[in-house]
Structure 1
């Protein structure tokens, strides 16, 4: 058996984007067994793939904030990381922190070339470097693994390899005709206006749909409560972990999302998902898989890739690009997706 360590630490979408590459690698080389280094908070995702044996959890964000008090935890991480010898270590993140972790591991390291890595200094720590063209993250990761492991890249794959029969999967029984709205995201510029979510929930309710509203932070929880207060069709879900979110997403007819990691989870599960993109570029980091639709803002500065909209002012209270992604537009596309599903 050939043992490979992959380092793909964050964010949620990035971690999910690595799964098709694992699936394809094992299809070409069945003797492969992967271990995975991932940031704390995302460790459940690699465990969903049957070809991932061991998940090594790093807490680099917490370590940076508490460097001296985390010495014992950092030592325990290095001890865990170096407890196995690897035939190959692949840095699929391309950052200095991931390259340094790869360098500490017991095995030869491969990664992106100086021209294709995200942080160029990282490439100095690789034994082998591979030039991977720009493009969608899933394509780039598939290419990196095929070059690192020396097999011919196959046709486009949407197989994330998630084992829905695993021990962590619990079937969630939805009410008939159920949608899930993923309204929460990180950047302020990626938020679809709250009033739009309220209007969309109303349209869904009038069409006989129940709308599930998940939340992660207290800010998102309060938004859920405001959306639900306007319509009896909305149900605010209890806060859960990633396993719980996977189970709920698997149970619905369709998902509407902004650019958020949970939208990528819907794609990984082949659940129909309409994703709304304003500030970000769906051609590089959009949801990837079966039954995915992208509604892109039609505005001269979109995608701006800025965390905060530079056009906001006392009179402009929300990113203007989302004016081109109206509630009617979303409902029209979503209705077509639901018709195809049924």
Structure 2
């Protein structure tokens, strides 16, 4: 059976859809799974175990340059790539007009069907017309975890029981980009500090300011991690995040600000860490998918929708207006200790 997943964005949403792919491959052996995704997230999907073909769709950019020759050429190439295979099932996990358009363009086998979400779920974007252009609309519970939303939809569409084990199929690998990153980072320290000290990633960035944890809290957490011999590493995705990273790191004894990296290098770098502490963001979702010891910080109660699931070494901390340093520190100590008991902290 040939299956096409349509999940174009966002970073966290793409990561959260990976367990559904692992379910399909586990419960329907021999299935070929292709995935349509935006170019920024394509490197991550290519690392998802079992994905046969990754089809890049840059609708966001094409809408802005619709009348240019380059865009027309790119659109024709995308259409050709999308229609290269016939699919027995096209699963629109996004629930938006842009994903419905892609699903509609895909080529079906004689008995093939297009599946879409039948209803909106709390906290997730949804555009009702998407269900009208599908062959089958799959109802899901209106209050459901983001990971479960994709898993439930796929299981109901393709008729299998959801496996008890949750797997993302995202394994770190060491590549040339990471080695280059380590070389750059080592210039911040004297002779090999990075290679001798375990690294904890500090994932403070978010596109939403209301998800931020105060800089002084990050600084205090960094001091406590330094006191245990850990190096802390700050990731960033834009100039403001870089400025915050450098401001905090400059006041710590053993800290570095990673260079701005592509998705592959960033995932590799996270995979080399002992663990991570972060706000609810796409990078935190990658850390969870890599099965790192992780503490996820929440300023409001959306844990039911995006928190790590069923992992004693991945802990969420919620408080209003924001969790204290002590609360996050205690969660980190618990997560890292339980991971060590499991033998997971071998990075």
Secondary structure in structure 1 of the residue aligned to 2:196: coil
In the other structure, the counterpart of 1:246 is 267
Secondary structure in structure 2 of the residue aligned to 1:239: coil
Provide Cα deviations, 1:227-266, integer angstroms capped at 9, x if missing partner. Answer: 1110121111122111112112112222100111010101
1:54 and 1:213, CA in 2 relative to 1: closer, same or farther beyond 3 A? same
21-30 vs 160-169, which deviates more? 160-169
Q: Is the 8 A contact 1:263 1:287 kept in 2?
A: no
In the other structure, the counterpart of 1:127 is 135
Q: 2 CA distance for matches of 1:294 and 1:21?
A: 23
Q: 1 CA distance for matches of 2:173 and 2:255?
A: 29
1:168 and 1:267, CA in 2 relative to 1: closer, same or farther beyond 3 A? farther
Aligned counterpart for 2:167 among listed residues 145, 154, 159: 159
In the other structure, the counterpart of 1:307 is none
TM-score computed with the length of structure 2 as normaliser: 0.85
Q: Which runs of 5+ in 1 are unaligned?
A: 300-320
In the other structure, the counterpart of 1:150 is 159
Q: Which structure 2 residues correspond to residues 1-150 of structure 1 after superposition, within 5 A? A: 2-69=1-68, 70-107=71-108, 108-114=113-119, 118-133=126-141, 134-150=143-159
Q: 2 CA distance for matches of 1:49 and 1:334?
A: 27
Aligned counterpart for 2:314 among listed residues 274, 292, 315: 292
In the other structure, the counterpart of 1:234 is 255
Q: 2 CA distance for matches of 1:68 and 1:33?
A: 35
Q: 2 CA distance for matches of 1:179 and 1:76?
A: 42
Q: Is the 8 A contact 1:215 1:224 kept in 2?
A: yes
Q: Is the 8 A contact 1:180 1:212 kept in 2?
A: yes
Q: Is the 8 A contact 1:168 1:243 kept in 2?
A: no
1:11 and 1:168, CA in 2 relative to 1: closer, same or farther beyond 3 A? farther
Query: Once the 2 structures are TM-superposed, how far is the Cα of residue 12 of structure 1 from its aligned partner?
Result: 0.7
Q: 2 CA distance for matches of 1:259 and 1:165?
A: 24
66-75 vs 93-102, which deviates more? 66-75
Q: 2 CA distance for matches of 1:165 and 1:247?
A: 6
Query: Once the 2 structures are TM-superposed, how far is the Cα of residue 271 of structure 1 from its aligned partner?
Result: 0.2
Provide Cα deviations, 1:133-179, integer angstroms capped at 9, x if missing partner. Answer: 13101111111111111112232x32111244698996878533321
Q: 1 CA distance for matches of 2:66 and 2:158?
A: 36
Provide Cα deviations, 1:4-54, integer angstroms capped at 9, x if missing partner. Answer: 110011111110111111111111111101110001200012111231111
Q: Is the 8 A contact 1:268 1:289 kept in 2?
A: no
65-74 vs 15-24, which deviates more? 65-74
Q: 1 CA distance for matches of 2:168 and 2:332?
A: 24
Q: Which runs of 5+ in 2 are unaligned?
A: 183-193, 341-347
1:167 and 1:217, CA in 2 relative to 1: closer, same or farther beyond 3 A? closer
Q: 2 CA distance for matches of 1:165 and 1:330?
A: 29
Q: Is the 8 A contact 1:175 1:210 kept in 2?
A: no
1:140 and 1:293, CA in 2 relative to 1: closer, same or farther beyond 3 A? same
Q: Which has the higher helix share?
A: 2
